[in-house]
Amino acid sequence: MKHFIKILKVAFQAINRNKMRSFLTILGIIIGVGAVIMTISAGEGAQQAVRNQISGLGNNLLMVYVKSEHRAGVEVRMGKELDKRDLEILNKNSVWMPEVSPLVAMGVQAVGGTGYKTTTIYGTSHDYFNIMSRTIVMGEGFTEQDVSLARKVCLIGETIRNLLFGGEDVLGRQVTINKVPFTIVGLLEEQGETGMGMDQDDLIIAPYTTVQNRLYGSVNYNMIVASAVSEEHVDDAKAEIIELLRESHHLLPEEEDDFEVRTQVELQEITSQVTGTLTILLSAVASISLLVGGIGIMNIMLVSVTERTREIGTRLAVGARESDILTQFLIEAVTLSAAGGILGIAFGLLGNLLIYKATNFFVPTVPYSILIGFGFSALVGVAFGYFPARKAARLNPIQALRFE
Amino acid sequence: MTMPFPVIEVRKVSRVFRNGDIEVQALKDVSLTIQKGEFVAVMGASGSGKSTLLNILGCLDMPTSGDYYLDGIHVNKLDKNELADIRNQKIGFIFQSYNLLARTTALENVELPLIYNRTGRFSSVREIARRALEQVGLGDRLEHRPNEMSGGQQQRVAIARALVNDPAIILSDEATGNLDSKSSFEIADLFVQLNDQGTTILMITHEPDIARFAKRVITFRDGQMLSDEPVSERNSKAEALRTLLPLTSKK
Read off the pLDDT of residues B18-42 as tens digits, 9 standing for 90 and up: 888 899 999 999 999 999 999 999 9
Read off the pLDDT band of B1 (50, 70, 90). very low
Sequential DSSP letters for B40-65: EEEEE-TTSSHHHHHHHHTTSS--SE
Domain boundary among A221, A238, A263: A263
Q: B58: which chain A residues are within 8 Å (Cβ-Cβ)? A: 317
- Same domain? For A97 and A219 the reply is yes
Per cent of chain A over pLDDT 70 is: 97
| Distance between CA atoms of residues A348 and A364, nearest Å | 11
Cβ A121 vs Cβ A106: under 8 Å:
yes
Domain boundary among A263, A291, A306: A263
- Same domain? For A82 and A218 the reply is yes
CA A251 to chain centre: 37
- Same domain? For A101 and A244 the reply is yes
- Same domain? For A99 and A142 the reply is yes
At residue A335, does pLDDT exceed 80?
yes
Domain boundary among A228, A263, A298: A263
At residue B2, does pLDDT exceed 70?
no
Read off the pLDDT of residues A46-61 as tens digits, 9 standing for 90 and up: 777 777 777 776 778 8
Mean pLDDT of A127-146: 88
Read off the pLDDT band of B135 (50, 70, 90). very high
- Same domain? For A228 and A332 the reply is no
Determine the pLDDT at residue A307.
87
Mean pLDDT of A70-82: 75
Any domain includes B148: yes
Is-above-0.80 flag for pTM?
no
Q: If you average pLDDT over every residue of chain B, what do you get?
A: 91
- Which one of A10, A17, A320 has the shortest CB-CB distance to B84? A320
Counted across chains A and B, CB pairs separated by less than 8 A come out at 72
Mean pLDDT of A313-342: 91
Mutate: best of A18, A314, A318, A399, partner B, most B CBs <10 A:
A318
- Same domain? For A176 and A304 the reply is no
- Same domain? For A45 and A94 the reply is no
Determine the pLDDT at residue A256.
84
Instruction: CATH number of the domain at B116, please.
Output: 3.40.50.300
Mutate: best of A314, A324, A395, partner B, most B CBs <10 A:
A314
Determine the pLDDT at residue B47.
86
Q: A311: which chain B residues are within 8 Å (Cβ-Cβ)? A: 99, 101-102
Range in A178-182, B19-23, B145-149 the model is least confident about: B19-23
Mean pLDDT of B219-234: 93
- Same domain? For A357 and A291 the reply is yes
Cβ A121 vs Cβ A109: under 8 Å:
no
Structural domain range at position B149: 8-250
- How far is the CA of A367 from the CAs of A41, A348, A354, B69, in angstroms? 9, 12, 18, 61
A394 touching B (Cβ < 8 Å) = no
Per cent of chain A over pLDDT 90 is: 24
Complex prediction ipTM: 0.92
Range in A165-174, A246-255, A290-299, A305-314 the model is least confident about: A290-299
Q: If you average pLDDT over every residue of chain A, what do you get?
A: 86
**Per the CB < 8 Å rule, is B88 touching A319?**
yes
A6 touching B (Cβ < 8 Å) = yes
**Per the CB < 8 Å rule, is B87 touching A319?**
yes
DSSP code at position A193: B
Read off the pLDDT band of B55 (50, 70, 90). very high
Q: How many domains does chain B have?
A: 1
Q: B85: which chain A residues are within 8 Å (Cβ-Cβ)? A: 319, 321
Determine the pLDDT at residue B76.
93
Read off the pLDDT of residues A97-132 as tens digits, 9 standing for 90 and up: 888 999 999 999 999 888 889 999 999 999 998 888
- Same domain? For A256 and A119 the reply is yes
A403 touching B (Cβ < 8 Å) = no
Determine the pLDDT at residue B251.
43
Q: B80: which chain A residues are within 8 Å (Cβ-Cβ)? A: 321-322
Helix (H, G, I), strand (E, B) or coil at A7: helix
Mean pLDDT of A70-78: 72
- Same domain? For A191 and A220 the reply is yes
Any domain includes B1: no
Determine the pLDDT at residue B98.
92
- How far is the CA of B75 from the CAs of A171, A213, B28, B52, B59, in angstroms? 104, 105, 19, 16, 8
**Cβ burial A153-191 (10 Å sphere, 16+ → b, else e):** bbbbbbbbbbbbbeeeebeebebebeeeebebbbbbeeb
Q: Which residue of B has its CA nearest to A3?
A: B118
CA distance B15 to chain A (A): 15
Structural domain range at position A156: 59-263
Of B41, B58, B54, which Cα lies nearest the Cα of B176?
B41
Q: How many domains does chain A have?
A: 2
CA A192 to chain centre: 18
Q: Which residue of A has its CA nearest to B115?
A: A6
- Same domain? For A21 and A93 the reply is no
Read off the pLDDT band of B137 (50, 70, 90). very high
Read off the pLDDT of residues A346-397 as tens digits, 9 standing for 90 and up: 998 898 888 888 876 667 777 888 888 888 788 888 888 899 999 999 999 9
Task: Kindly give the pairing relationship between strand A203-207 and strand A116-124.
Answer: parallel
- Same domain? For A85 and A220 the reply is yes
Any domain includes B2: no
Read off the pLDDT of residues A208-240 as tens digits, 9 standing for 90 and up: 999 999 998 888 899 999 988 888 888 888 888
Read off the pLDDT band of A197 (50, 70, 90). low
Read off the pLDDT of residues B101-121 as tens digits, 9 standing for 90 and up: 988 999 999 999 999 998 888
**Per the CB < 8 Å rule, is B84 touching A311?**
no
Any domain includes B84: yes
